Amino acid sequence: MLDFVIISGPTAVGKTQFVEDLAVKKNAEIISADSQTVYKYLDIGTAKPGSNDNIKYHLIDVVDPDKNYDVSNFISDVEEAVKRIRNKNKKILISGGTPMYINKLIYGLTDAPGKDEEIRSKLKKEAEKKGKVFLYEKLKKIDPVSAENIHENDLYRIIRALEIYEITGKTRTFWHNKTPKPRYNYLYFILNRDRKKLYTRINKRVDKMILEGLVEEVKDLIEEKNYTGNEYGFNAIGYREVVDYLNGKIHKDEMVRLIKRNTRRFAKRQLIWFRKEEGTVEYNLSKVNESLVLNDIIEKIKKRGGLK
Q: What is the pLDDT of residues 260-307, one digit of tens each?
A: 999 999 999 999 999 889 899 999 999 999 999 999 999 999 999 999
Q: What are phi and psi of 143, to 5 degrees?
A: -145, 75
What is the pLDDT at residue 280? 96
> Rounded CA gap, 300 and 188, in Å?
11
Q: Which amino acid would we find at residue 37?
A: T
In 3-state terms the chain splits into helix, strand, coil percentages (rounded to 5) of 55, 10, 35
Burial (CB count <10 Å: 0-12, 13-18, 19+), residue 256:
buried
Q: Where are the domains of the chain?
A: 4-110+179-303, 117-176
Asked if CATH classification 1.10.20.140 holds for the domain at 117-176, the reply, yes or no, is yes
- Say whether pLDDT at 179 is over 70: no
Q: Are 31 and 92 in contact (CB under 8 A)?
A: yes
Residue 128 Cα to chain centre, angstroms: 26
- Say whether pLDDT at 67 is over 90: yes
Q: Which amino acid would we find at residue 262?
A: N
**Which of these CATH numbers, 3.40.50.300, 3.40.50.2300, 3.30.420.40, 3.40.50.920, describes 4-110+179-303?**
3.40.50.300
> Rounded CA gap, 69 and 87, in Å?
26
Give the burial string for 54-67 (b: 16+ CB within 10 Å, else e). ebebbbbebeebee
4-110+179-303 and 117-176 agree in CATH topology: no
Residue range 34-50, pLDDT digits in tens: 999 999 999 999 999 98
Residue range 207-237, pLDDT digits in tens: 999 999 999 999 999 999 999 999 999 999 9
